[in-house]
Amino acid sequence: MAQITAALVKELRESTGAGMMDCKAALNETNGDIEAAVDWLRKKGLSKAAKKSGRVAAEGLVAAIVEDGVGVVVEVNSETDFVARNDDFQKLVGNIAKVALETGAANAEDLAGKAYPGGGTVADAITSGIATIGENLTLRRVAPLKVEGAVNRYVHTQIVDGLGKIAVIVALESKGDKEVLSTLARQIAMHVASANPLALDASGLDPATVEREKALLAEKNAGKPANVLEKIIDSGLKTYYKEVLLLDQVSNHPDHAGKTITQTLKEHEGKAGAPITLKGFVRYALGEGIEKETSDFAAEVAAAAKG
């Protein structure tokens, strides 16, 4: 039997919104398996969240930069949050984002080998930053978007221009009015930052995610006739898609209240003077999916005092 710690209960509670005792019961039932506990809570109707997002456990900054139909999002991690407010670190992340935009680097490994302003490579600049700042720094990921139309960004909890805790870029393909497209792309990016869609449409979902959702629906409705169960699963998937697919989500931007993103795009085609296709989006939340060691500060101080 796995040990159900307070930290484990807290993690499950933060990711689901369920009560503390319910989270503890779920973890006991699933032998401490977080993902299984999320499913257990959902089957019992106790979880307030329809999906589990990655736990934000790393520090540093994410950056978004756009220019002439090209956009890029970059994440650079540090050990502590203090570093995010360090001028040298902010300059490093900003420069890395510019290199990514100018070179079209496809991934972190590719970007690390690109030339950095002032000499050396991006990897060299990070190594130098480690020595200067005094913390381990990591170039974690990068994602570019390029389109014939407009790309715009939104950065949430922005510390300086283009750098913050959540960064989003959205690409709209169109031959329409660039100003209309740019404004719309930013509004959709703001929606993405808040709603955190899993994919643009059903084709972009991981098949394993869909199968997991089907299994949950089947288990919740076990015992019903096969033909009834099939309809329940089909209806449940349609509801799930409205929650997690960007084009099916109802916009949370006040200018598009009550309209889905698909309807919003269609509505703006008249304003732009041409058809509009949402070609892609990228959303980076700082540290999502990275486990971070937690420590008992009081215990550390007590141990230091003893020895």
226 alpha-carbon distance from chain centroid = 37
Write the DSSP symbol of residue 81.
Answer: G
Is the Cβ–Cβ distance between 14 and 52 less than 8 Å? no
CA pair distance 210, 29, nearest whole angstrom? 24
CA pair distance 70, 291, nearest whole angstrom? 32
Is the Cβ–Cβ distance between 145 and 104 less than 8 Å? no
pLDDT of residue 292: 64
- For 284, the 3-state DSSP assignment is strand
Token pair for 295: 């420590």
pLDDT of residue 257: 87
CA pair distance 183, 189, nearest whole angstrom? 10
Q: How confident is the model at residue 45 (pLDDT cuts 50, 70, 90)?
A: low
CA pair distance 209, 73, nearest whole angstrom? 25
CA proximity to 194, closest of 267, 258, 73, 283: 283
pLDDT of residue 210: 93
pLDDT of residue 6: 86
**7 Cβ neighbours under 8 A, 6+ residues apart:** 294
Token pair for 200: 């643009």
Write the DSSP symbol of residue 165.
Answer: S
pTM for this entry? 0.75
CA pair distance 25, 43, nearest whole angstrom? 13
CA pair distance 277, 272, nearest whole angstrom? 12
Q: Of 93-97, 140-144, 173-177, 210-214, where does mean pLDDT reach its minimum?
A: 210-214
Q: Which CATH class is domain 59-198+263-285?
A: alpha beta
Residues 119-158: tens digit of each pLDDT = 999 999 998 888 788 788 899 999 999 999 999 999 999 9
Q: Of 40-54, 76-90, 111-125, 197-211, where does mean pLDDT reach its minimum?
A: 40-54
CA proximity to 144, closest of 180, 121, 114, 165: 114
CA proximity to 198, closest of 187, 186, 210: 210
Number of H helices, E strands in the chain: 11, 7
Q: Across the chain, what does the average pLDDT equal?
A: 87
Q: For the domain 1-52, what is the CATH superfamily, name and number? A: Ubiquitin-associated (UBA) domain (1.10.8.10)
Mean pLDDT of 221-241: 90
Q: For the chain, what percent of residues have pLDDT higher than 70? A: 87
The amino acid sitting at 213 is E
pLDDT of residue 294: 54
CB atoms within 10 A of CB 111: 24
Domain boundaries, given as residue ranges, for the chain: 1-52, 59-198+263-285
Residues 278-299: tens digit of each pLDDT = 999 999 999 887 766 554 545 5
Q: Of 19-23, 104-108, 114-118, 129-133, where does mean pLDDT reach its minimum?
A: 19-23
Assess whether pLDDT exceeds 60 at residue 304: no
Token pair for 90: 């902010």
- Beta pairing, strands 70-78 & 277-285: unpaired
- For 178, the 3-state DSSP assignment is helix
